[in-house]
Structure formats: C-alpha cells, structure tokens
Structure 1
Amino acid sequence: MIEFIDNLTQLLAALTGCILSGMFYLRSRRQPYFLLCCFYACFGSSILYWLLYTILITDAPPLFYVADIGWISCYLFLFQLQYSLLDKEERTLRSRLPWLALVIITPLTVYFISIGDLLYNLIVGVLMCAMLWTAIRGLVWQKTCPNRGKLFVHLAIIGFIVLEYCLWLSSYPWVSETLTNPYFWFDFAVTASLLVLLPAVRKAVRT
C-alpha cells in the first residue's frame, strides 16, 4: 500500500510538472520549458510503468529497458536543460571544484555496477556525473556573475541527484514494505524535489 501511494504521488507530481511546463512553453516558446516538460514526461512514464507493474503483475520480474529507458531519457533531458541555461562564458569556466563530481559519482557507479546491470548503471553514472559537474561549476560561476535564478536551479539539481543516490542506496538491501523503510522517505523527498525544480527553472528563465 505504501509503495502504491509513493508511486502514485510521484506520478501526480511528474504529471503536474509536465502539464505546467508544457503550458509555459506554449506561452513563451522558451526552450528550457520544453526540455523540462520532456524531463517530467519521461520521469512520469517510468513511474507509470512501475505503478502498473505493481498492480497488474506480481509473479514475473520487471522487464529491463522498459522503465530504464525512461529514466535515462529524463536524466538526459535534465542535463540538456542545465546546459541551455548556461552563459557562453560559464560553459568555458575552468575550475578544480567540478572534479568533485567525478570523485563522488565514480565509486557509486562502480558499486551499482557490481550489484546490477553494467550498461544501465554506466550510462546513468555518466549522466549524473555530467549534471553534478555542471551544477558545481554553476555554483563556482555564481561568485563571478551572481544570478539567483540559476543558483536555485543548480541547487535543485544537486538536491535531486543526492536524493536519487540516497534512494538507490537505501534499496539495497530491501528493509520492508512499511514506513520503517528509509527508501520510502527518500522517494517522497525525490517527489518534493520534482516540485521544486519547476519554480527554480521559471526563476532562471525570467532573470
């Protein structure tokens, strides 16, 4: 029951974000809104698959690549969204701090590859590293050219990445189907981060 509520809540959050960002794109024709809409759509489609799976199918393992393609696609759209908001000078900024992304994501990727699928975890690791790298570089850039709108986007994406990894780490081993399982609390936090992302992007587009 808790898993159903968790997945349904996340699906509604993704659907709401998809509809609103789609409306903002139709009004303004700004590319970040279109990319955000695609992010929500891909995220929501993966959640919908898992929701239907838990309701309709209980005696067969989930099919690989059905939901995983949706996850990979949503991360790719989120990275493209990040890149579309960068200034030309920001894209060429040189700093050592973004290397923290590689230091953080690499061991996590190796761990998930050791317990899961090689190709999927490798692709996700590369995309997460690219997003975290861009976000950290964006925070460094804020010291040179402050922009509160873009600052919120970078922080929102970092929060999303941290929560996603906390979610995945808490799923091994699986504790229970109740709220005593930290997995559900992290997943509810991921849902909240989805809702935060839309106003953060709106603020960045306006500034």
Structure 2
Amino acid sequence: MNFEIIDNIFQVIVFSLIVVADIVCWFLHKNRLYIILALAHSCFMMGTLYFVLYLVIRGKVPQFFYVSEISWIASYLFLHSYQIVGYKGQRMKISVIPLICGIGVAIISIWSGIFGPAILSTGVFTLAAGAIVYISVFQILYGDAPYKSSICILLCIILQVSLYISSSFFHDYTRFNLYFCIDIVLTISMAMLLPCTFMEVGKDDVH
C-alpha cells in the first residue's frame, strides 16, 4: 500500500481522537483554550481527510488541493489565536531574537514555495508562521508563565516548514522516508499541545 495513505490515515485517526479529548477537557474545565485547540486540531484533520480521500478515490495526489490548504492554514491561525488568548495580560515588546526567528521562518516559507503557485495561501501561512514563531520565542525567553505549549507550537511550525522543504527532495511516497518521519513527528507534536495545555492551565482558570 502507498505509505502516504497509511501516514495520512494515521494522522486523521490521531487528530480525531485528540479533538474528542479537547472537547472533553473543555466540558470539564470550561477553558476556551481547549475549544481553540479543538478547532485547530479539527481543521488539520479535515485538511488531511480531504487529501487522503482524494488520494484513495482518484488514485493520485490532488494537483491543486485548496481545500486542504485552507484547512491547514486555518489550523495555524487557530494556534495563533491560542497564543493570543493564552498569553493575554502578559506584556509583549519588540525583541531582537524573537524578531529574527520570526522573520527567518517567514523568509524560509516564501523561499520554499510552501504552497506552490498558490501565492495567497503562501502569504497567509508566512504571516501566521512568523507571528507564531515570534510569540513562541518571546514567551520561551522572557515569559513568566510555563512555556511547554510555546515549545510545542514552535516545534510544529519548524516541522511544518521542514516537511514542505523535504517534499522537494523526496518524490517516492510508496515507501517510508524522512518526509513521513517529519510528518509523524508533526502529528504527535500537534497532539501534545493538549497535555501541555492541561499542565499549564489551572482547574480554576476559567475563561
């Protein structure tokens, strides 16, 4: 069987389970961070689901998979919202190191042509990725609150960009290779946002 199908089915299953867990945590703790996580995870899952269904039904990778692109970008926009809500009340300022990291990721995203000819999709992802990296690095270096989720989100962005870069070097998707290794680690990293959030959010911290 095409390993790309196996990889994507694994991703859909993991994200489906984690979305259910996100919703359960929201019911238990009533913190909107869990709902934002559920939206981020479900968007990623739906993008992958469309991709794998197209692959299974049509027998080929969609050449212009805007549905998947929109879903994946929406997932990262929700992660950015997660940061804004989670770090609300903490003072942010322009800092050199986070700024360099954010701009660096943005430049790499544009250079790699992360969404191919889809300029709008690439632009939106680039802006979102740059902002997410800036906030994550700032929180890790200067934040007072626990920053496990910041590390996790930063890792997700790095892995996502690395995934698209690696796709330029690997074209045989029938066998396991570095591309799938990165994708599996990305899936696990996205899922780990839930336990990170659970550890950082107090039971009485209701939003």
What's the offset of the Cα at 1:27?
2.2
- Alignment partner, residue 56 of structure 1: 57
- Residues 24 and 184 of structure 1: is their aligned pair in 2 closer, same or farther, counting only changes over 3 Å? same
**Partners of 1:63 and 1:41 in 2: how far apart?**
21
Match of 1:187 among 183, 186, 201: 183
Matches within 5 A, 1:90-109: 90=91, 92-109=92-109
**Partners of 2:78 and 2:125 in 1: how far apart?**
13
Contact 2:3 2:176 in 1 (8 A): no
Provide Cα deviations, 1:58-89, integer angstroms capped at 9, x if missing partner.
Answer: 36844442111101111111110011110423
- Alignment partner, residue 38 of structure 2: 37
- Residues 86 and 169 of structure 1: is their aligned pair in 2 closer, same or farther, counting only changes over 3 Å? same
Provide Cα deviations, 1:91-118, integer angstroms capped at 9, x if missing partner.
Answer: x334222112333123213313495321
- Residues 60 and 168 of structure 1: is their aligned pair in 2 closer, same or farther, counting only changes over 3 Å? closer
SS at match of 1:19: helix
Provide Cα deviations, 1:151-203, integer angstroms capped at 9, x if missing partner.
Answer: 10010011111111111100014331244531111111111112211101111
What's the offset of the Cα at 1:56?
0.1
Give the 4+ runs in structure 1 shifted more than 6 A.
none
- Alignment partner, residue 78 of structure 1: 79
Matches within 5 A, 1:2-151: 2-58=3-59, 61-90=62-91, 92-113=92-113, 115-142=116-143, 145=144, 147-148=145-146, 151=147
Report how many aligned residue pairs link the two structures: 201
Are 1:200 and 2:196 counterparts?
A: yes
- Residues 71 and 60 of structure 1: is their aligned pair in 2 closer, same or farther, counting only changes over 3 Å? closer
SS at match of 2:185: helix
In structure 2, stretches of 5+ residues that fail to align are none
Provide Cα deviations, 1:115-144, integer angstroms capped at 9, x if missing partner.
Answer: 5321111111100001001101101223xx
**Partners of 1:123 and 1:41 in 2: how far apart?**
19
Calculate the TM-score normalised by the size of structure 2: 0.89
- Alignment partner, residue 158 of structure 1: 154
Identity level (%) = 23
Contact 2:103 2:130 in 1 (8 A): no
- Alignment partner, residue 172 of structure 2: 176
Contact 2:54 2:61 in 1 (8 A): no
**Partners of 1:80 and 1:133 in 2: how far apart?**
14
Contact 2:102 2:132 in 1 (8 A): no
